[in-house]
Structure 1
Amino acid sequence: MKKLQKIIVYAGGIVLLLSSCKKETYELDKFSMTNFNGEYAAPLVASDLTIRDILTKAAKDSNIVVDNTGFCTLVYRGTLFTSRAKDFVIIGNQNLGSINYDFSNTTSLATFNAASNGTSFGPYTQTISAIITPTPPLIDSLYTNSGTSLDIIINNAMPAAISVTITSPSIIDLNTNLNFNQIINLSASTSTLVSYDLGNHLLKLVNGSTRSQLNLKYSMKMQKNGTATGLEQIGISANLNNISFNKFIGYLGANYTHPNFAPYKDTVPISLFRSSEPTYTNTTFSLVDPKFEIKFYNEIGVPAQLNFTKLDAYTPDQWGNNLNSNSLSGSSIIQNISINSALNFNAPKTTSLSINKTVEPQIVPFINSRPKNIIYEVNGSINPGSSSYIRNFFTDTSRIRVDLDVILPLWGNMKDLVFLDTINVDLHTIDANTKQVILRTYFESTFPVDMGMSVIFTDTLYNPLYTLISPGTVVIPGASVDVNGYTSAPKIYKKDYIIPQSAMPLIKNSKKILIKAFAYTTNYPTNVKIYDFQKLKVRMGIDVKPYLSSNN
């Protein structure tokens, strides 16, 4: 089954802010430095981030929907399944029947033998009507692809050369708009197989109230070149093989089913909740109004009906046992779902089913349980009901697609949502006698989310060398929130972090800065809302204080 893309997201919070800024490898000897009373300063980050900046970078595969108040909703879409018409409407090889010519339905044996060699007899005409099976489907028109073949087999045991003209009002060449008309000439006492490619042909198979009927007309003439015993005959048979079509018009029948359409079952991964980061698995959050929207995109000119017999949350442990008991199975909202027919070949129809807390309260704990997968089973039929005929139509590329939208209005609360980010650095040019390095930070936030972080310098293998900011230190406070979840005045936080001289050898060998940030709203008395006008102003710089000897 098609997969939801990997997403880093927050619900009611924001993502690691430093990761939204431009990241570079910083080499101190390449900075343009200015002397400020013996202090060398270099900027690292200067950025104003809105929610759009952060969400666009953190959730690249999501769609950000903003209403007229600026309130933000994240929408993630994945496909449950796709069924193509040509996969569940398969027409096998067809035997179109056979005819015989002998002395009972042509000239008499005595007349034939009495005639001199070279005498012509005929034409003798026979018509055959064949029903394309099975029925249903009932076919009005079938537009065939190259490879579809009409195979004519003729066994001529007569002591006469024959000429067979084959015509059919049921087979129309779309290149010329002419009915099928072919002649096969065959010597006495021989046989042949002739195949006609029916690519770009129309099989017009409706005859009054009769459908799926193909008519062939044979007209045979023969020219004597020997004496007959009376047992001789001419046998002609026809087959329609390797049927491939690009357009179908007809009726699939009432309550039509096929294994390639339904029943159908699968497990859909919800990558939104499938992070492999161990600390993320401990995250808990509660959205006020999450919802599913199931969209049925129908390019096929048939109505359909679906029933979800199972729709379960699945979060496995290491042995595959389901730890998630949330289920929507049995909910009436996912039963007897009507899918409207396409209006014409170029006008597909979209039908939507919204599963929200109003129609199904269980959707809130279902989504807030963060299922890693959704297990579903669906049954369905085409042309539900008992109509004797409904005009169905589709092409070989027509399909029914079922999409699942996970809709997350950013309104709620959360805690312990942890993200990791890595910044490459090259600090080998720092003098080992450097007195100290200061990381100077300034944050001004109107986001209603507290952010904490730890900053650790590591080697290329991520082995810790020096911890600048210990885990659990809050460095970016959230703005104040009123009773309606709105933020008011921004919060400002600034601090200098000092790296002492004793840590210089460790800093010089550092190749990466590992940043772990966590977001939470537990300090707020109400659920918070995220708006697109909220902003975080970030200013970060580095000061290097060189060692000054007493001789200077």
Structure 2
Amino acid sequence: MKSVLPSLLICIACAIIFSCGNIIDDKDYKIDSARLNPQLAMPIAFGSMSIKDILSSKDSQYVKVYSDGLVYLAYSQTLKSGDIRNLISVPDQTLNRSFPLPAGTIPPTAQDIRSDSIVQVVDFGLSPEQLSEIAFKSGSINYSTSVSPSNPNFNYEIIVSLPDFTSTTTNSVFLKKASGNGSFSLQNYVALLNNNKFNLKLVLVIKQNPSAVTIAPGTVVNISLSFAGMDFAYIKGFFGDQTVNVPPETLNISAFSTSFKGAKVSFAQPKINFTVTNDYGVPLTLSFLTLEARKPGAALPVQINPQSPISVTSPTTLGTSSQTSVAVTNANQLLNFAPDKFYYNVSARINAGLVSANPPNFMADTSKFRVNLAAELPLYGHASDIVLADTASIDLTDVDQSKVDKAFLKVKVSNEIPLEANVQFY
């Protein structure tokens, strides 16, 4: 480009000279030589660095801005998702009942005859739970009926009625007929209980028969009912004063260990909180037996407010959640520690010191409690020893370097970050 510019300037000068023939007489003036000193400046590279460049590429995604324009880092990580449903299970139940038949002859009959009935209260036998409602997600009643001694001429069926069980699909109470062997499904039934108890009614029906039937002395009709495989979609009642121990756990975290490596950074007014989200409609207390931040060769206890044990708020409606916030009081110390792991050992206790529940406790099969770690680190404080490095490509293939006498690299830096910095090229 340096060789082109002189030629261009000479042409322009010649054009001026020859076009001004009336002013300058070429007989009076001769140009022996021309000396030109062209200077050429062109932008060959540019770039920018922002607060995201100070962070690692992994952490840049956490950059947020407050409404007042202050930039901050926002981290969030779920530490634990647990449940307490294993505290309560509906045990299998087997009931054996018999209808004695009077000896004699049953005359022919053209219609069914209700002979006898058994009404009783059945207890699921739960303890310390006192349930008032169960919505069955699964479960069955297996039945088996027989006549002893055997009498093939005697036709019968047994009506099984559970007046406290209502179908959510048909809105009708449980009413089935049993004869021989079989099973009934409890899926989509809701049972209203009185402290784990429900009503059962069995009715023996002698079926129509055109022939007389002789009944031997001591004849009985037997029925066996087995409630099995019962699981709930939700339950209500009093769940008892119980404790569940969550296995100790170590969780890898990256929030405090990836940014500003090799730098000295101090944040002003950092906020670190644990948020406990509770789906259980039951008074819940969490006790952190151990809660500490760890890195190779060192550990730091995490101090919280309120202190352990923590009373967790409960939702008032099935299907909703409530949240309890727990602040970390040594947040600055924790950040300076730069851990890469959290270790904790926690236990959960429900209905601490209670013997009844008003309103009733409730839980769904999907209910859980979740512990979430959240940190807000305003970029307000001081920092040093931050090193930023970048490379730039300069394409000079079109320049004839043999015709370049000197070259200078001029850098213009516009700094909008309140940090002093030095620029070094190498």
What range is the shorter-chain TM-score in? 0.7 to 0.9
Q: Does 1:441 align with 2:414?
A: no
Match of 1:236 among 223, 226, 231: 223
Match of 2:280 among 287, 300, 309: 300
* Distance (Å, rounded) in 2 between the aligned partners of 1:325 and 1:355: 16
CA spacing shift, 1:52–1:155, aligned 2, 3 Å = same
Q: Does 1:268 align with 2:251?
A: yes
Contact kept in structure 1, 2:52 and 2:60, CA below 8 Å: no
Matched residue type, 2:158: V
Number of residue pairs aligned between Structure 1 and Structure 2: 380
Q: Does 1:150 align with 2:141?
A: yes
Matched residue type, 1:257: T
Structure ID, larger Rg: 2
Give the drift of 1:140: 1.1
Matched residue type, 1:81: K
| TM-score, length basis structure 2 | 0.76
Contact kept in structure 2, 1:84 and 1:396, CA below 8 Å: no
Contact kept in structure 1, 2:234 and 2:362, CA below 8 Å: yes
Deviations along 1:333-389, one digit per CA (max 9) or x if unpaired, are 431211011021254211112223xxxxx4422221101111111122012222422
* Distance (Å, rounded) in 2 between the aligned partners of 1:99 and 1:419: 84
* Distance (Å, rounded) in 1 between the aligned partners of 2:161 and 2:100: 21
Q: Does 1:205 align with 2:196?
A: no
Counterparts of 1:498-513 in structure 2 under 5 Å?
Answer: none
Give the drift of 1:238: 1.9
* Distance (Å, rounded) in 1 between the aligned partners of 2:71 and 2:79: 25
SS of residue matched to 1:365: helix
Deviations along 1:272-301, one digit per CA (max 9) or x if unpaired, are 2344x9xx6544333343332111112221
Residue 389 (structure 1) aligns with: 357
| Identity value in percent | 21
Match of 1:286 among 238, 242, 266: 266
Residue 94 (structure 1) aligns with: 92
Residue 234 (structure 2) aligns with: 247
Match of 2:339 among 371, 378, 381: 371
Matched residue type, 1:349: S
Match of 1:407 among 371, 376, 382: 376
What CA RMSD, in Å, does the superposition of the two structures yield over aligned residues?
3.5
Q: Does 1:165 align with 2:138?
A: no
Matched residue type, 1:219: V
Q: Does 1:324 align with 2:298?
A: yes
Q: Does 1:216 align with 2:210?
A: no
Gaps of 5+ in 1: 1-36, 317-322, 357-361, 455-468, 471-552
Contact kept in structure 1, 2:319 and 2:364, CA below 8 Å: no
Contact kept in structure 1, 2:81 and 2:368, CA below 8 Å: yes
Contact kept in structure 2, 1:83 and 1:401, CA below 8 Å: yes
* Distance (Å, rounded) in 1 between the aligned partners of 2:131 and 2:324: 27
SS of residue matched to 2:300: coil
Gaps of 5+ in 2: 1-37
CA spacing shift, 1:385–1:67, aligned 2, 3 Å = farther
Contact kept in structure 2, 1:287 and 1:368, CA below 8 Å: no
* Distance (Å, rounded) in 1 between the aligned partners of 2:268 and 2:143: 69
Matched residue type, 1:336: P
SS of residue matched to 1:345: coil
* Distance (Å, rounded) in 2 between the aligned partners of 1:312 and 1:453: 41
Query: 57-66 or 304-313, which moves further after superposition?
Result: 57-66
Residue 462 (structure 1) aligns with: none
CA spacing shift, 1:415–1:179, aligned 2, 3 Å = same
Matched residue type, 2:240: G
* Distance (Å, rounded) in 2 between the aligned partners of 1:283 and 1:80: 28
* Distance (Å, rounded) in 2 between the aligned partners of 1:312 and 1:233: 68
CA spacing shift, 1:437–1:183, aligned 2, 3 Å = farther
Contact kept in structure 2, 1:131 and 1:212, CA below 8 Å: yes
